[in-house]
Chain A
């Protein structure tokens, strides 16, 4: 068995309802000691520690967190904002939910530290509307933090004040995209904005804003307590620190969350050594490695090391680390049709290539799936995808185009079988 032993930060608390309380957090998890320490550090020192940690955003794009924080202008006339992206809307992703319901104080402490670092006194946790229970748990944890002086005015006796509010979304994938999220927070339709200006220049309510994922912010207390260098070394590759929560779903024997060093294992190890292999010991057919927006991988490609750069090198992405495993007897044409239906449904409609193109790809895929496709439809799909990719305001278009292109290119025979046989061979 190729298992690596490593220190985990989060997963040992998942499932333990006691861990979510303030008392437990203070006693067993050195709770709020990092905040205390950070408040004695200068803003620049906090940011430089986070830079040293090589923490990269866990929301999807993998942008270095310390570098992002450094973009906040020092001299701003407008209030600055810190927003936690808890929309967790990328299909295949289910880590932030556990972080919020089992270790909410890590997130709260991480946000208070981040608020200090960027000079913001106001934070919001934008949580997807479906997570009603998690929103209530966060509210309760925030109240505890206020009552212990860890949030609010003059935190822990310092001159830093920070208010934190949970803001519920209401069902829209696009609100995971940071500028769509900001519009939604402001009470508007969640339509992504034209960039630049980037949120660090003009974000929430026009003020300089940092948007970070739940897992990103939850890692901050560890970095402050144990040092950026220590965190960087948890990762096994250069420029990518810490552990990662991998969300494994689909046809594996043991689906669920796995916390492993960034770059510590290959995709094959994760599937076969950790998740026990494929359900029913069937053959592997395909893997989607980073949420449904990530181009698909074939069984020949799973020796790739699981981290941002190695996956990028082979034309896909780690994204939000939502790994979906598909066994030999599931129809891939059906699968990509379903994925594309999602993007067509979730396109906000602002950009014509995405609004029209996603729906068009869905229609073409649907007719192929049901045996009404034609040979030339495959070239058509690639052409539509090409006309969406990189031609829209936000990355939802790319997220829809990449998977279609990869399925058509890598599993062409499956499509041809549907077209020539005039039906789904698996039906």
Chain B
């Protein structure tokens, strides 16, 4: 079967290999690297990661499904993760979720039909002193309110 992971993926892994006494320890780094390239982990991607590590695809899935950051379903171009844990709720995070849901016409956990936005409720992001907080792809946005959120959304094409 044709490979879907790039040469860069394999080079990156090669560099990491000597850093671990076992190859299986590369599973989380490999899943991160694969997701970076493909934006989500399709069954084909999981298979290829398993082949590289030398474990069965079911073992890859067993591990990948334990962690919330691995997207086992496609996600939108902009992935909003709004923290709704204690500190963020105390500072009104639920309003942000409601606002996103209304504005984008989807519920938390869903992706817009044009595949542009995915909105999720997140557990604690570790930004409680600057709550409410959210992640947009890899970046943190803190001390949010509805107005700021609108500005951020308006900046995304």
Residues of A within 8 A of B (CB): 79, 88-94, 96-97, 128-133, 163, 165, 167-173, 184-190, 205, 247-251, 255-257, 288, 292, 322, 324, 326, 330, 335, 338-339, 342, 345-346, 348
Residues of B within 8 A of A (CB): 16, 19-22, 24-29, 31-32, 53, 62-63, 66-70, 84-87, 89-91, 123-131, 135, 138-140
Whether the Cβ atoms of A91 and B85 lie closer than 8 Å is yes
Residues of B within 8 A of A205 (CB): 21-22, 25
Find the residue from B24, B32, B70, B135 having the highest chain A CB count within 10 A.
B32
- Measured CB to CB, the nearest residue on chain A to B88 is A249
**Docked CA distance A94–B31 (Å):** 26
Contact partner of A324 among B21, B28, B86, CB < 8 A? B86
* Sample (25) of A-B pairs whose CB atoms are under 8 Å apart: A89-B126, A91-B85, A91-B123, A92-B128, A93-B124, A97-B126, A97-B127, A130-B69, A130-B135, A165-B16, A170-B67, A170-B69, A171-B68, A172-B68, A173-B124, A186-B25, A247-B128, A249-B90, A250-B86, A255-B130, A255-B131, A256-B129, A256-B130, A292-B124, A335-B86
Q: How far is the CB of A152 from chain B (nearest CB, A)?
A: 12
- Measured CB to CB, the nearest residue on chain A to B23 is A187
**Docked CA distance A345–B90 (Å):** 19
Q: A190-B66, A338-B85, A339-B86 are in contact. List 13 more A-B contacts (CB 8 A).
A: A92-B87, A92-B128, A94-B130, A129-B69, A130-B126, A131-B126, A133-B140, A165-B19, A170-B31, A172-B66, A187-B24, A251-B90, A338-B89
With A187-B22, A205-B22 in contact, do A129 and B126 touch (Cβ < 8 Å)? no
With A91-B128, A169-B67, A189-B62 in contact, do A129 and B32 touch (Cβ < 8 Å)? yes
In the A-B complex, list the 4 residue pairs whose CB atoms are closest, starting with the nearest: A170-B67, A187-B27, A171-B68, A249-B128
Q: How far is the CB of B128 from chain A (nearest CB, A)?
A: 4
Whether the Cβ atoms of B63 and A189 lie closer than 8 Å is yes
- Measured CB to CB, the nearest residue on chain B to A81 is B21
Whether the Cβ atoms of A94 and B90 lie closer than 8 Å is no
Find the residue from A88, A130, A133, A335 having the highest chain B CB count within 10 A.
A130
Contact partner of B29 among A92, A168, A247, A346, CB < 8 A? A168
With A186-B25, A250-B87, A339-B86 in contact, do A89 and B68 touch (Cβ < 8 Å)? no
Whether the Cβ atoms of B28 and A326 lie closer than 8 Å is no
Whether the Cβ atoms of A94 and B25 lie closer than 8 Å is no
Q: How far is the CB of A169 from chain B (nearest CB, A)?
A: 7
Whether the Cβ atoms of B128 and A324 lie closer than 8 Å is yes
With A190-B66, A249-B87 in contact, do A94 and B128 touch (Cβ < 8 Å)? yes
Residues of A within 8 A of B126 (CB): 88-89, 93-94, 96-97, 128, 130-131
Whether the Cβ atoms of B124 and A92 lie closer than 8 Å is yes
